Structure 1
Amino acid sequence: MADLDAEQKGTAQALAVRLWNSRWLLIAGVVAILAVYALAAISAYIVLAALALLLAAAMLPVSGTRQSAESAAAIEAFGLQRLSGEYLAAAVADPLIIFDRTATIVHANAAAFAAFGGIAPGLSLSLKFRAPEMQALLDGVLSGDVASDVVDYTEKLPVERAYRVSASSVGHGTDLYVLVFKDQSEARRIDRMRADFIANASHELRTPLASIAGFIETLRGPARNDPAARDQFLQIMQSQTGRMARLIDDLLSLSRLEMKPYLKPGTEVDLRETVDSVIDSLGPLARENSVAVERDYADGPLDVPGDRDELFQVFENLLENACKYGQSGGRVVVSIARSDAGSEPGIDVTIRDFGPGIPEEHIPRITERFYRVDVETSRTQKGTGLGLSIVKHILTRHNARLSIKSEFGKGAAFSVHLPTH
């Protein structure tokens, strides 16, 4: 009923606007009709009819542009009457706080309550946000020195969050101001990760390059005429160039994966055939490390939607790590089983070794780029520190997940859960 009354009121306002804009036309028409009536002595009924036609003409739009402008103005006036600051603040996804000239909170939206907690109308912003940059922001806006301003602000508790905070006045003569907090935490995290990545990649490339440069200098100097030293140094240089080539290949793989969109279901991959191919291709490595690879597959078809080459790369990375770092256990078990539990049925591929295992504190970070549990062991095994990062990216594209279980001294199990739909 209230909406109907408001609509009728808005319509009346639009009609009033149109009559006001046509007032001179109406006055001129009335004067002309009355003059004709006085001079020509025509019937009063004709005069009334003429006045009615004049009023109807005044209600008609003078032009399409004028009608559109008048309608837009009436709709805008009607809509803004129904709009409140509270509704507008609630529609903003970022934390938003409205305050007055004394820096006292007048209103805060739900996002602000969730982000900062313990804020309510009547609380002083100066007491809530004590950081110098926030105090300077409030002082600048409230003093009228600036109409709006922006600062970077970091909230330490309960978790560290970085915000770009903007402050400005609301309207004219309202004595109200607004703070809007734009969360920059994810952007900052990505920037730090990018900087760390560049630093790590530079370090990983600089080490073999420095080694090669040193051996070249030695070969051109003291070892110029020493065949035994020359053969030894050339062998080391070849190993270092191979290390750089592997690192560059892995970096390119990561770059290509990050540029690809999420994989759309389409092609079916036979996991039995794919995992068998991986085991066969790594047979020489397993024999070199004296590791026996055992298979434990479920019966029936084991198909999932995905990209065969990428899934091959996933299982190759995991089995290669199991053969290298679980060498002391003497065997690796590769199992494929259906997982019908929960709301996401699929197929689990688990690669389990019986080596030294992974300390629990390292497991959450083991898929980070260049993160190594044991740096020396990793480099001895010709690892680049990017293998599990590549695995993680590929599984993300397949809407799959990787879980890691390990008990120090008893081996580790890497399980890949692939959805069947």
Structure 2
Amino acid sequence: ENLPDPLLVLAEDRSALRANRAARKLFGLKSGAAGDLAALLRHPALAGAVERALAEQTAQGTDLHLPVPVARELHAQAIPMNPPLADGGRVVVVLSDRTQMRAVERMRADFVANASHELRTPLASLIGFIETLRGPAQDDEEARERFLGIMATQSERMRMLIDDLLSLSRIELSEHQPPQGEADVAELLRAEAVALEPLAKGTRIEIEAPPVLLASPADAEQLAQVLRNLLENALRHGKREGLVRASLTRVTGGPRLPNRPGILLAVADDGPGIPREHIPRLTERFYRVEQGRGRGTGGTGLGLAIVKHIVNRHRGQLIIESDPGNGATFKVWLPGG
């Protein structure tokens, strides 16, 4: 009953005699009853494993996909009981829920595929221009200069992507470790705004923050990366020669915020905004609202994923608000302050 793994006891006719607490919780059954497990017991893979276990008198394992009531990936181990249990149980089925593990595996596979695609595109461009420079454009000085400029841009794109991939990997490894030390978020914000002036190209960055605003515990380097990524995102998607507003305030609660003291960072742009249906997916790796949106403005598609993981490590909260046609606001709440 108290075993951590879901466990079922089946009778001679393959009906369920008993289900332990973990199994009842997994399938939403009432306490003390095996309940309606018809969908599970009719599953061809499980039925086959049970038959083999009884016929061969050895444990048999199999993987199951159950689409209802909630999609789950399970591994089942059918163990024959000889002699039978006191209540007539002939087979014990031990289940392990691998839904989350399989989801992580699929995410990892998607990530590798997306990263490979993102690297392959500029690499193919570089190879193409190198072949052209070795051939038809070998003696064309004007074409050579133009192609070298494009090659430099594509090389920089690859460098940025590799840097972000490495950064995301490091952040994920440390996400379970609470940060140590403290950071003056106001000073970091002003420093990042100055560093991004070349990227601004006429867009004004307006900062509203107290002289000093300490976050503790905090990783100053990672918080600087959050500020940099959010400011870059606003500059890329805001109006040309427009306005980006960044503010830092001390807060205690508020709409969608924890009801305790903290620091609230808000970065707002004046761009086209984000359709509501896209907002929940913005922090997915390589997710873009429009095909080519990030490429056209120089993004790698990883900036907001990095922000999310850093905020999670700081036990903070990321809030994205947008009114299509009126820009977007990215808010980060951090405990302390």
Give TM-score scaled by structure 2 length: 0.90
Q: Decide whether aligned partners of structure 1 residues 165 and 344 sit closer, same or farther in structure 2, where only a CA change above 3 A counts.
A: farther
Q: Residues 232-261 of structure 1: CA distance to partner in whole angstroms, max 9, x if unpaired?
A: 111111111111111111111112222225
- CA separation of 1:233 and 1:165: change in aligned 2, threshold 3 A: same
- On the 8 A contact 1:329/1:353 being kept in 2, the answer is no
Report what 1:355 is aligned to.
271
Q: 1:413 aligns with which of 317, 326, 329?
A: 329
Aligned partners of 1:328 and 1:354 also within 8 Å: no
The correspondence for 2:19, drawn from 81, 86, 108, is 108
Q: How does 1:258-297 map to 2 (within 5 A)?
A: 258-260=172-174, 262-264=176-178, 266-286=180-200, 288=201, 290-297=202-209
Q: CA distance change for structure 1 residues 303 and 190 in 2, over 3 Å: closer, same or farther?
A: closer
Quote the offset at 1:416 in angstroms: 0.7
One of 45, 50, 60 as aligned partner of 1:133: 45
Max Rg structure: 1
Which residue matches 1:305? 217
CA distance in 1 between counterparts of 2:77 and 2:153 reads: 55
Cα offset, 1:393, TM superposition: 1.6
Query: What pairs with 1:211-222 in structure 2 (closer than 5 Å)?
Result: 211-222=125-136
Q: Does 1:336 align with 2:248?
A: yes
**2:123 counterpart (196, 209, 230):** 209
Task: Return structure 1 stretches of 4+ with deviation > 6 angstroms.
Answer: none
The residue number in structure 2 matching 1:161 is 72
Alignment partner of 1:196 is 2:110: yes
Q: After the TM superposition, which residues 11-410 of structure 1 pair with which residues of structure 2 at under 5 Å, given as runs?
A: 89=1, 91-117=2-28, 121=33, 128-141=40-53, 143-170=54-81, 172-174=83-85, 175-176=88-89, 177-260=91-174, 262-264=176-178, 266-286=180-200, 288=201, 290-297=202-209, 301-327=213-239, 330-341=242-253, 342-410=258-326
Using the TM superposition, name which of 297-306 and 319-328 deviates more: 297-306
Amino acid at match of 1:105: A
Whether the aligned pair in 1 keeps the contact of 2:19 and 2:33 (CA below 8 Å) is yes
Gaps of 5+ in 1: 1-88
Partner-residue secondary structure (3-state), 2:73: strand
- CA distance 1:269–1:122, change in 2 (3 Å): closer
* TM-superposed deviation, 1:367: 0.8
Runs (5+) with no aligned partner, structure 2: none
Would the aligned equivalents of 2:182 and 2:214 in 1 still touch at CA under 8 Å?
Answer: no
Q: Is the 8 A contact 2:186 2:210 kept in 1?
A: no
Distance in 1 between residues matched to 2:218 and 2:63, nearest whole Å: 43
Q: What is the CA distance between 1:327 and its match in structure 2?
A: 2.2
Structure 1 position 318, deviation (Å):
0.2
Aligned length: 329
Cα 1:104–1:298 change in 2 (3 A) is same
TM-score by length of 1: 0.73
Task: Give me the whole-angstrom Cα distance separating, in 2, the residues matched to 1:316 and 1:349.
Answer: 12
Q: Give yes or no for contact 1:335–1:349 (8 Å, CA) kept in 2.
A: yes
CA–CA distance in 1 between the matches of 2:41 and 2:83?
A: 26
Instruction: Name the residue aligned to 1:80.
Output: none
Residue 130 of structure 1 aligns to which amino acid in structure 2? R
Higher RCO, Cα 8 Å, sep 6+: 2
Q: What one-letter code is carried by the residue in structure 2 that aligns with 1:345?
A: P
For residues 149 and 372 of structure 1, what CA distance do their matches in structure 2 show?
A: 45
Structure holding more helix per residue: 1
- Do the aligned partners of 1:104 and 1:121 also contact (CA within 8 Å) in 2? no
Secondary structure of the structure 2 residue equivalent to 1:327: coil
State how far apart, in whole Å, the 1-side matches of 2:185 and 2:245 are. Answer: 16
Instruction: Write the letter of the residue equivalent to 2:225.
Output: Q
* Shift of residue 298, structure 1, vs aligned partner: 5.1
What is the DSSP-based 3-state SS (H/G/I as helix, E as strand, rest coil) of the residue aligned with 1:356? coil
Cα separation, partners in 2 of 1:260 and 1:225, compared to 1, 3 Å: same
Following TM superposition, by how much is the alpha carbon of 1:352 offset from its aligned partner in structure 2, in angstroms?
0.9
3-state SS in 1 of match to 2:68: coil
Per the alignment, do residues 280 and 321 of structure 1 end up closer, same or farther by CA in structure 2, a change over 3 Å counting?
same
Q: Which amino acid aligns with 1:370?
A: F
Q: Is this contact kept in 2: 1:322–1:353, CA < 8 A?
A: yes
Q: Which amino acid aligns with 1:180?
A: V
Whether contact under 8 Å (1:328, 1:356) holds in the other structure is: no
Q: Give the percent of matched residue pairs that are identical in Structure 1 and Structure 2.
A: 43
Provide closer, same or farther for how the CA distance between residues 333 and 145 of structure 1 changes in structure 2, counting only shifts above 3 A.
Answer: same
Measured after TM superposition, the shift of residue 420 of structure 1 is 0.9
